[in-house]
Amino acid sequence: MSERHFVPKSDVEYTKADFTSDQMVKWCPGCGDHAILSSLLNTFPKTHTKKENICMVSGIGCSSRIPYYVDTYGFHSIHGRACAIATGVKLANPALSVWVNMGDGDSMAIGGNHLIHAIRRNQDLNITIFNNEIYGLTKGQYSPTTKFGQVTKTSPYGTIDYPFNPGELVMGAQGTFFARTLDCVPQLTTDVMTRAAQHDGASVVEVLQNCMIFNDKTHAAITDRAVRDDRTIVLEHGKPMLYGKDKNKGLRFNGRELESVVIGENGITIDDIMVHDETIEDTGIHMMLAHMGGDLPVALGVIRNVKKTSYTQLYEDQMDEQMANGKYKCVDDLLNSGDTWEV
Amino acid sequence: MSKDQIVNKDDLVIRFAGDSGDGMQLSGTLFSDASALTGNDIATFPDYPAEIRAPHNTVAGVSGYQVHVGSHIYSSGDKCDILVAMNPASFKSQLKWAKKGATVIVDMDTFTDEAIEKAGYKENPFNDELERAYTIVRAPITSFTARIGAEQGVDKKTTEKCRNMFALGMIFFLTHKTLDKTFAYLERKFAKKPDVVKLNKAVLTEGYEYADKLELIHSKIVEVAHADMPKGRYRNITGNVATAWGLLAASERSGRRLFLGSYPITPATDVMVELAKHKSLGARVFQAEDEIAGICSAIGASYAGALACTSTSGPGLSLKSEALGLAVMVELPLVVVDVQRGGPSTGLPTKTEQSDLAQALYGRNGEAPLIVVAASSSANCFYWAYTAAKLALEHMTPVILLTDGYLGNGSQLFRIPKVSDLPEITPRLAKPNDPNYRPFRRDPETFAREWALPGMEGLRHRVGGLEKCPDGPLSTDPENHALMVYNRQEKVNRVANYIPDQEVTGNPDADLLVVGWGGTSGALTLAVEEMNKEGKKVAYTHFNYICPLPKNTGDILRKYKKIVVCELNNGQFAGYLRTQFPECPMTQYNKIMGLPFEVGELKAEFNRLIG
């Protein structure tokens, strides 16, 4: 089956300003969403997509206000349903570049069903999850990603809900693209969003985002400048999985699980360090990488990027085949098909 | 048989009943198809359980299919002239649908002690009293079929599946029809299995010949009058297929690609099943992960420029309510087909009812008006689906089309139209690069906004569930909200300027006006027609446009001394009319049994009201 691309390229060179809308941005000052918006606006020119062919679809929550701040077509829909609406947009017109923006509650609680099915189908959607581990717009209730035991307005004695890890959810649903980034590293965010846009199929980008009002510093243990290099690892395809301020730490698979090792200690050399392959079809290693945290650094960058014919292409191939060779050319043919008689 | 034995009749009702796996739906369909092809008007009514294969030989597992054939058929008929009962359980549960004096064909081989007991009988049901009330034909259907199977060397299981052909053969004899149409069907259907064709044909023929040899029923042979219908090309069609085809026709006529986002639910599934076959006609069908995704994908498709639809039944419509509110808010065209069934909750999935009307009219948060229309026959589901699409596209609003299980699964003759003869559909598309485009700029006559599609140059805009001002941006201004609520309501109200006046049939000078809506028109029409023939004066008006109502509705209602609103619910339409026309006293006739109206019960009620 030949690979097809449905979104036409633009001959115009756009800049960030071309995508900035005239609407006042109403997020709290200092909110991580500002940085994500900026990264997104920087991403669009890099995708070389005609401005009119971009359609932003969001659900409900702080992050879902984003379509108003982007000068493209946009649909700010209802809670949890962004993936379902985006699915219809793309099916009705595959020439559109469809971007779905949701928060953690929107995408994994009320909209969890739509998210897993959108991923499973591998329709060509660019999904971004703003993960601040809290319900912000309703003022501070725990979400499906809130850390176990955390005290919130609806968990005054600490949550007893085990949280989701969005990456594991993507792998479990046979996702073909998963990347993770931080709101405070805008260049990485733009890079992975650009890669996500290039991916034919459903792509999911998780942005660890700070809500300074209701869940401030929830990601600080990994995002603070002082610790970031040691608590995160930016994965790059084909390169050894090295991290740390001096890039002397690395990841090794010990036959049972991933472990962090230091080059030069205990006879460890660069050859012992795993090389990242984002294209392995089996989800095993990618699942382990997405799962990391605690003693292991949190994985950032493109963790998984697998080629698998997209739903969009499979759908259009079937449509084209039937339009060309199907039994009926017009509705009159259908109405008069089978047993009919004259009175 | 000699010709003088044949009785001529205007119509005849036949009911096929058996275990869920006995092939009764197929027997009924084959008989109705053959009747239609030989010139009868028809209407059918499948009456089947929710279980696919309930325990063998139990009343719970009985599946029925009623066919009404004749010269001018409005409904599937009240009680039957011929009942086929393939086992004791179907005999027990279906005999109540047989007219006194009806011919009842039973498979005597199935009346074993065990099966009789399983059906709930204390003893063998046949007795003198029963024999006097009906002409009971005890046919050795299973054993004769088995003998033919054995002769042809076919296995037992395959042979058993052909029992229905024996019964069908008998019915063809009783209705003085030939077997050739059904032979042709079998040859088509089992083209790759000549053994199966041979067996089925042999069993069908055996049934026919067996009946021919039975003196008992020779006086019962009926020749049903040919249909008296306008000239044209005809076919048989079910309501769900007609709905699907109406949407296809609207798509072709409007130039907008058809999108259906849907989730399987009885009795609406066949709309999706049908459209899924027609990719060659551009139908984009999406089987969603749930009802909500069904409608949400349709809303997305509508935003992107498709004639977008979703199909469902009662509980599914409940799940779609929030998204329907969104469609009202963003003012996008959308067709929601609700094939109603018995409720509330899971209710009676395979039985018919009209109890989703209130939900269709009011089942959303906020002031959320939309158009509601209802089909009134299996065949006119085509036109109402077409009309729903036309109204949605021209008035930029969601439209709910109410059909029901009776219309959806039932079938009727359909006079095939030419697509080019159907009314024009003009979607309200915005013009690319129109500098004056505003998302909620309205047509001064219809109040409909314009449809600017992603991909169109110079019309980038945002829509969403939050209240907007006419220019597009968000607004929480109190006056703006009041204005937008007014505009959305006025847009739906003004649809009344574009629909035909409501008509009155029967005797318009009567004191009694019968009011119906949706799928009950067959029985109501016939009841009113028969009463007027009998010299009673009855007027009748049947609603297809529910919201808004035709403009002359009040004028009609105010003319009559007595009004009876008949519907298969507890009075939802009556209540709706009362809120708009409080000056008109109305009585109600309601039935909530999962079954269509019978002509007999309606006439009894109308006679009582006339006094």
Q: Which residues pair with A182 in a beta bridge?
A: A208
pLDDT at residue A343, as a whole number: 80
Does the pLDDT at position B262 exceed 80? yes
Give the separation between CA B578 and CA B574, rounded to whole angstroms: 6
Element (H, E) at A229: helix A225-231
Read off φ and ψ for residue B377, nearest 5 degrees: -155, 160
Peptide bond into A156 cis (omega under 30): no
Q: What is the pLDDT of residues B109-159, one digit of tens each?
A: 999 999 999 999 998 999 999 999 999 999 999 999 999 999 999 999 999
Average pLDDT on A230-244 reads 98
Contact B231 A73 (CB under 8 A): no
The last residue of a domain, from among B498, B513, B528: B498
Looking at chain B, which residue has its C-alpha nearest residue A74? B462
Q: How confident is the model at residue B5 (pLDDT cuts 50, 70, 90)?
A: confident
Tokens of A228: 């970031």
User: Taking each helix axis from N to C terminus, what angle separates B24-37 and B180-189, rounded to the nearest 10 degrees?
Assistant: 120
Verify that B536 and B592 share a domain, yes or no.
yes
Under the banding of pLDDT at 50, 70 and 90, the label for residue B48 is confident
Query: Which of A267, A228, A235 has its CA nearest to residue A251?
Result: A235
Q: Choosing among A18, A331, A333, which should be mutated to test the B contact, i.e. which has the most B CBs within 10 A?
A: A331
Cβ(B120)–Cβ(B59) under 8 Å? yes
pLDDT of residue B431: 97
Cα dihedral A99/A104/A110/A113 (nearest 10): 60
Inter-chain CB proximity B300 and A95 less than 8 Å: no
Residue B21 is predicted with a pLDDT of 83
**B311 and B384 share a domain?**
yes
For chain A, give percent helix, strand, coil, nearest 5.
35, 20, 45
Q: A224 pLDDT exceeds 90? A: yes
Residues B380 and B323 in one domain: yes
Distance separating alpha carbons of residues B335 and B372, to the nearest angstrom: 10
Tell me the average pLDDT across B367-393. Answer: 98
For the purposes of burial, counting CB atoms within 10 Å of the CB of B6, is it exposed (0-12), middle (13-18) or buried (19 or more)? middle
Virtual CA dihedral for B579, B357, B397, B440, nearest 10 degrees?
40
The CA distance from B9 to the nearest CA of chain A, in Å, is: 20
C-alpha to C-alpha distance for A64 and A69, rounded to whole angstroms: 10
User: Distance (Å, rounded) from C-alpha A68 to C-alpha B156?
Assistant: 68
Assign residue B288 the CATH number of its domain.
Answer: 3.40.50.970
- Is B300 close to A93, i.e. CB distance below 8 A? no
Bridge partners of residue B308, in order along the sequence: B259
Split at pLDDT 50, 70, 90, the class of B105 is: very high
By C-alpha distance, which of A318, A290, A299, A193 is closest to A241?
Answer: A299
State percent of chain B over pLDDT 90: 90
Residue of chain B whose alpha carbon sits nearest to that of A96: B455
pLDDT at A56 over 80: yes
Architecture of the domain defined by A16-218+309-334: 3-Layer(aba) Sandwich (3.40)
Going from the C-alpha of B377 to that of each of B73, B415, B518, B525, the distances in angstroms are 11, 13, 8, 11
With contact defined as beta carbons under 8 Å apart, do B263 and B276 qualify? no
**Looking at the structure, do residues B403 and B547 belong to the same domain, yes or no?**
no
Domain around B330:
233-498
For chain A, the maximum distance between any two Cα atoms, rounded to a whole number of angstroms, is 94
- Per the CB < 8 A criterion, the answer to whether A263 and A253 are in contact is no
The verdict on a CB contact (< 8 Å) between A113 and B463 is no
Are B401 and B384 a contacting pair, CB within 8 Å?
Answer: yes
CA pair distance B134, B128, nearest whole angstrom: 10
| Residue A269 vs residues A229, A232, A240, A264, B590: alpha-carbon distances, Å | 20, 21, 11, 6, 84
Task: Choose the final residue of a domain: B224, B245, B274.
Answer: B224
As a whole number of angstroms, the distance between CA B243 and CA A81 comes to 27
pLDDT category of residue A1 using cuts at 50, 70 and 90: low
| Cα–Cα distance, B468 to B477 (Å, whole number) | 9
Q: Looking at the predicted structure, is the pLDDT value of residue B235 above 60? A: yes
For B320, the closest chain A residue by CA position comes to A81
Over residues B89-102, the mean pLDDT reads 94
Burial class (CB in 10 A: 0-12, 13-18, 19+), A38: middle
Q: Kindly report, residue by residue over B171-180, the tens digit of the pLDDT.
A: 999 999 999 9
Residue B438 distance to chain A (closest CA, Å): 13
Tell if the CB–CB gap between B280 and A322 is shorter than 8 Å.
yes
Q: Are residues B167 and B121 part of one domain?
A: yes
Please report which confidence band the pLDDT of residue B4 belongs to, taking 50, 70 and 90 as the band edges: low
- Residue B216 reports pLDDT greater than 80: no
- Total structural domains in chain B? 3
* pLDDT tens sequence across A148-180: 999 999 999 999 999 999 999 999 999 999 999
Does B323 score more than 80 pLDDT?
yes
The domain that contains B588 carries what CATH number? 3.40.50.920
B475 and B468 in contact (C-beta within 8 Å)? yes
The whole-angstrom separation of Cα B198 and Cα A171 is: 53
B195 and B49 fall within a common domain: yes
B367 vs A245: CA distance, rounded Å:
59
C-beta atoms of B300 and A73 within 8 A = no
Is B391 found in the same domain as B267?
yes
Determine the Cα angle at B270 with ends B265 and B274, to 5°.
Answer: 140
Q: Please determine, for residue A284, whether its predicted confidence score (pLDDT) is greater than 90.
A: yes
Q: How far apart are CA B425 and CA B419, in angstroms?
A: 12
Q: Which residues pair with B139 in a beta bridge?
A: B107
| A3, burial (CB in 10 Å: exposed 0-12, middle 13-18, buried 19+) | exposed
pLDDT at B2 over 60: no
d(CA B100, CA A328): 48
Q: Tell me which residue in B281, B289, B417 faces A328 most closely, judged by beta carbons.
A: B281
Same domain, yes or no, for B240 and B355? Answer: yes
**B489 and B521 share one domain:** no
Asked if B229 lies within 8 A of A96 by C-beta distance, the reply is no
- Percent of chain A surpassing pLDDT 70: 100
In this structure, are B200 and B277 located in the same domain?
no
- Residue B229: pLDDT above 90? no
Distances (CA, A) of B92 to B45, B117, B338: 19, 11, 33
**Range B313-336 average pLDDT:** 98
CATH number of the domain that residue B16 is part of = 3.40.920.10
- Closest Cβ–Cβ partner in A88, A331, A341 for B234: A341
| Structure tokens given for B112 | 């074993």
Q: Is B203 helix (H, G, I), strand (E, B) or coil?
A: helix
Report the pLDDT value the prediction gives residue A141, as an integer from 0 to 100.
97
pLDDT(B453) > 70:
yes
CA–CA separation, A198 vs A330, rounded Å? 37
Inter-chain CB proximity B461 and A73 less than 8 Å = yes
Average pLDDT over residues A281-301: 97
Peptide bond before residue B582 is cis, with ω within 30 degrees of 0: no
Determine the average pLDDT of the residues in A264-280: 97
Q: Per-residue pLDDT averaged across B345-373, rounded?
A: 97
Residues of B in contact with A72 (CB under 8 A): 460
Same domain, B165 and B312: no
CA distances from B124 to B89, B115, B127, B413 (A): 12, 10, 8, 41
Residue (of B252, B408, B269, B248) closest to B335 by Cα position: B248
Residue B260 pairs with which residues in a beta bridge?
B285, B309
Average pLDDT over residues B324-342: 98
- A131 closest CA partner among A47, A223, A45: A223
Q: How far is A333 from chain B (nearest CA, A)?
A: 10
CA B400/CA A332 separation, integer angstroms: 26
Question: Which residue matches tokens 């050894």?
Answer: A240
Quote ipTM for the complex. Answer: 0.97
State the pLDDT at residue B611: 87
Residue type, B145: T
Best of A9, A12, A125, A339 to disrupt the B interface by mutation (most B CBs within 10 Å)? A339
Nearest to A134 by CA among A115, A161, A116: A161
Q: pLDDT tens, B182-205?
A: 999 899 989 999 999 999 999 999
Gap between the Cα atoms of A161 and B16, Å rounded: 56
Query: Does the distance separating the beta carbons of B299 and A343 come in below 8 Å?
Result: no
Task: Say if residue B171 is in the same domain as residue B271.
Answer: no
Name the E strands within A104-209: 126-131, 177-182, 203-208
Hey, are the CB atoms on A88 and B302 less than 8 Å from each other?
yes
Lowest mean pLDDT of A94-103, B208-217, B462-471, name the range: B208-217
Return d(Cα B579, Cα B559) in angstroms, integer. Answer: 18
Whether A146 and A135 have beta carbons less than 8 Å apart is answered as no
Mean pLDDT score of chain B, rounded to an integer? 95
